[in-house]
Structures are given as C-alpha cells and as structure tokens.
C-alpha cells in the first residue's frame, strides 16, 4: 500500500516545535481589512494558508489585481535569529526575476506586521496537487520538472541556493505555470560555507546529515530535492518516506530506496532520478547537465494533462 506524501516542517537551526508554532500563530493576528503602504492600498481577502512563521492572505490592489500577502507579526520576530531569517528572505527574494519564481512585488510594515506582497499563485502548490492526485502522469511530471529546473537554473546562475525545495514550496499560477516560492532558507553561495542542518526531512541531502567534507552543502542540495520531487510525483511518495525522521535519515545516508514496480515509469526517468540521488554531491548532475538528460530530449509534452480540479483553487474554479 502506498503511504501518502507527507511534508514535515523544515529542520532549521531553531526548530519549529508545535508549541512554538501555536505561539506564533497566536501572535499573528488577522491584519486589518485595508492594508496600506505609503503609495498603495490593498484590500485583504481570504486566508491562503499558514506556514512556520507567516500567514498568507489574498489581497487586491486598487486596480483589482490579486496578490498574496505574506504577513509576519512583528511580535514573532523579536528574536535576533528570526529577524535575520526574515531579512535574508526579503533581501534574496526581492532581487530575483524569473517566470518560474514567485514574483516579489514589494515589502512594507505597519505597527503590528511586516507584509511581503507576492505574485498570486491561485492554483495552490504542487503538494496540494499531489494530495488530490496521489501520483501524476510521467509526462506531466516531465512538464513540471522542466519548469522547476528552469527556475533553479536561474537561482544557481545567480549564486543562490534555495535549500528548502519541496512540493509545498512550488506553486502554480492561474495558467498552471510553475513558480518556486518561499526563500526563507535560501542562501547566497558565499554565505553558505558552514554546515547547518536545514531543509525538510524527506528532502534533506545525505551530506547535510553527515556534514561530509565537501565545499559546503551548496547547489547540490537543490539538485537532490529535484530528484526527490520527481520520484514523489511519479510514484506518489518520496523515496525515503518512513514514519519517523531518524529512519528517513538512515535511509538517506545509505541511499536505501527502490523504484516501485506498480507504476510503469520509463527507464529514462529512473536514470535521471538515480543519477540525482547520488550519495556524493559531486556525482550529481549540475542544473545544466539535467537539461541534457534523455528524459527531456525525447517525447517532450507541450502542456499538462491535468486541470487541477479538486486541487486548491482559490477561485473555486
Ligand atoms: P512559511 O511560514 O512556511 O514560509 P508561507 O508563508 O510561504 O509559509 O506560506 C503559507 C501558506 O500560504 C502556504 O501553505 C501556501 O498555501 C500559501 N501561499 C504562500 N505563498 C503563496 C502565493 N504566492 N500564492 C498563493 N498562496 C500562497
């Protein structure tokens, strides 16, 4: 029997315990119905979801354009570490422009909250899709992966490692175009020399767990996460899925996974996953190498076959 896809909370240096999360959401009160910065007014709409330290709301501007407003209560960022994390997310995200990355519109604050206005991804996340579909067609996974890889190629080219790529951080806009989001754990390569265990258990690369001597866990951890996501999309569960985190880590460190036989997945797809899930980061393909894999060069789909009905669609479409 297949285990449903689960995404645990990221393992950050300051772990988000359940209690801490409850405390944060208590601090993060619903923002006012009109949110204004010096030049613009946004009308708050429905809640889009809640993460580790932020709540997201739909907002519309005076031209009726919809955005997602990520709201962080100032009371929840009194700790130096948390404030630095938020600042780093803003600093990194605000300079990034790519069609496969959630657009950062602007950022401002009032007495209570910090607001990050983002491009609206009305079709929800890849996680929402997978929860509904369990697994998707290999051709659809291919179509999604190429957009994911395009976004990551842009990041890596600009020296940015996302470090928390997972189904829940990959979104779809109203045209089902893929957008990578949540730069809360992202780092620029030059600041990325030390080993801190971060990421989400099912997606953590082995060298992050072992602290193996490499050049510092870097671009290769994002590549690893692409492999995990391809596997999860076509087989309906991440390769190292286990009930408890320590078992996941054991399996990751020994690359202990197999391709389930109940799905008829092509050898080309398995080869890409196999190469990506290499124990040694240097053995993994780079983001540029990935585009040359036969999985992408042969029989490339022009569109996705799913229409995401049933997945989170903010309009109810
Ligand atoms: P975190 O606190 O983990 O960083 P986020 O603020 O990124 O959490 O996301 C909280 C929730 O808001 C997500 O689960 C997602 O459903 C929703 N969300 C985040 N960004 C967007 C977006 N750009 N468009 C639509 N929904 C979003």
- In this structure, the residue with its CA closest to atom 2 of ligand 1 is 51
**Mean pLDDT in residue range 62-76:** 94
Burial track 259-281 (b if 16+ CB lie within 10 A, e otherwise): eeeeeebbebbeebbebbbbeeb
271 C-alpha vs ligand 1 centroid, how far in Å? 32
pLDDT at 47 over 50: yes
- In this structure, the residue with its CA closest to atom 25 of ligand 1 is 121
pLDDT at 1 over 50: no
Per-residue pLDDT tens over the stretch 141-160: 999 999 999 999 999 999 99
Q: Is 313 in the pocket of ligand 1 (CB under 6 A)?
A: no
Q: How far apart are CA 44 and CA 38, in angstroms?
A: 17
- Residue 203 DSSP code: G
Joined together, the tokens standing for residue 55 give: 């709540």
Residues 6+ away with beta carbon under 8 Å from 296: 142, 145, 146, 290
**Mean pLDDT in residue range 185-202:** 68
Q: How far apart are CA 147 and CA 164, in angstroms?
A: 17
**Mean pLDDT in residue range 287-304:** 88
> What pTM does this model have?
0.86
Which pLDDT belongs to residue 308?
58
- Identify whether the C-beta of residue 135 lies closer than 8 Å to the C-beta of residue 263: yes
Q: Is 50 in the pocket of ligand 1 (CB under 6 A)?
A: yes
Point out the annotated binding site: 74
Q: 260 or 302: which carries more pLDDT confidence?
A: 260
Q: How far apart are CA 169 and CA 289, in angstroms?
A: 23
Residues 6+ away with beta carbon under 8 Å from 209: 197, 249, 252, 253
Q: Is 167 in the pocket of ligand 1 (CB under 6 A)?
A: no
Point out the annotated binding site for ATP: 74
45 C-alpha vs ligand 1 centroid, how far in Å? 14
Work out the pLDDT band at 123, boundaries 50, 70, 90. Answer: very high
Q: How far apart are CA 5 and CA 21, in angstroms?
A: 22
- In this structure, the residue with its CA closest to atom 4 of ligand 1 is 51
- Identify whether the C-beta of residue 67 lies closer than 8 Å to the C-beta of residue 119: yes
Residue 210, phi then psi, degrees to nearest 5: -90, -15
């Amino acid at each position: 029997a297949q285990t449903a896809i689960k995404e645990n909370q990221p393992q950050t240096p300051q772990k988000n315990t359940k209690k801490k999360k409850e405390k944060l959401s208590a601090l993060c009160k619903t923002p006012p119905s009109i949110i204004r910065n010096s030049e613009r007014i946004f009308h708050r709409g429905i809640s889009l979801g809640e993460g580790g330290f932020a709540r997201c709301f739909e907002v519309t501007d005076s031209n009726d354009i919809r955005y997602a407003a990520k709201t962080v209560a100032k009371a929840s960022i009194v700790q130096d570490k948390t404030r630095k994390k938020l600042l780093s997310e803003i600093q990194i995200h605000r300079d990034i422009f790519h069609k496969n990355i959630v657009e950062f519109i602007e950022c401002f604050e009032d007495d209570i909250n910090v607001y990050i206005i983002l491009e609206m991804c009305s079709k929800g996340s890849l996680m929402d899709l997978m929860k509904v579909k369990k697994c998707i067609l290999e051709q659809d996974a291919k179509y999604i992966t190429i957009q994911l890889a395009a976004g990551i190629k842009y990041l890596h080219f600009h020296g940015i490692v996302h470090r928390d790529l997972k189904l829940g951080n990959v979104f779809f806009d109203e045209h089902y175009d893929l957008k990578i989001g949540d730069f809360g754990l992202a780092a620029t390569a030059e600041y990325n020399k030390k080993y801190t265990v971060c990421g989400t258990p099912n997606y953590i690369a082995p060298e992050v767990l072992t602290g193996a001597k490499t050049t510092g866990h870097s671009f290769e951890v994002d590549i690893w996460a692409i492999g995990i996501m391809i596997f999860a999309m076509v087989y309906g569960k991440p390769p190292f899925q286990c009930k408890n985190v320590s078992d996941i880590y054991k399996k990751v460190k020994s690359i202990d996974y197999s391709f389930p036989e109940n799905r008829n997945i092509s050898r080309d797809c398995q080869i890409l996953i196999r190469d990506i899930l290499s124990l040694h980061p240097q053995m993994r393909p780079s983001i540029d190498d990935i585009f040359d894999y036969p999985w992408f060069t042969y029989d490339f789909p022009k569109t996705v076959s799913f229409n995401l009905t049933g997945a989170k669609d903010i309009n109810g479409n």
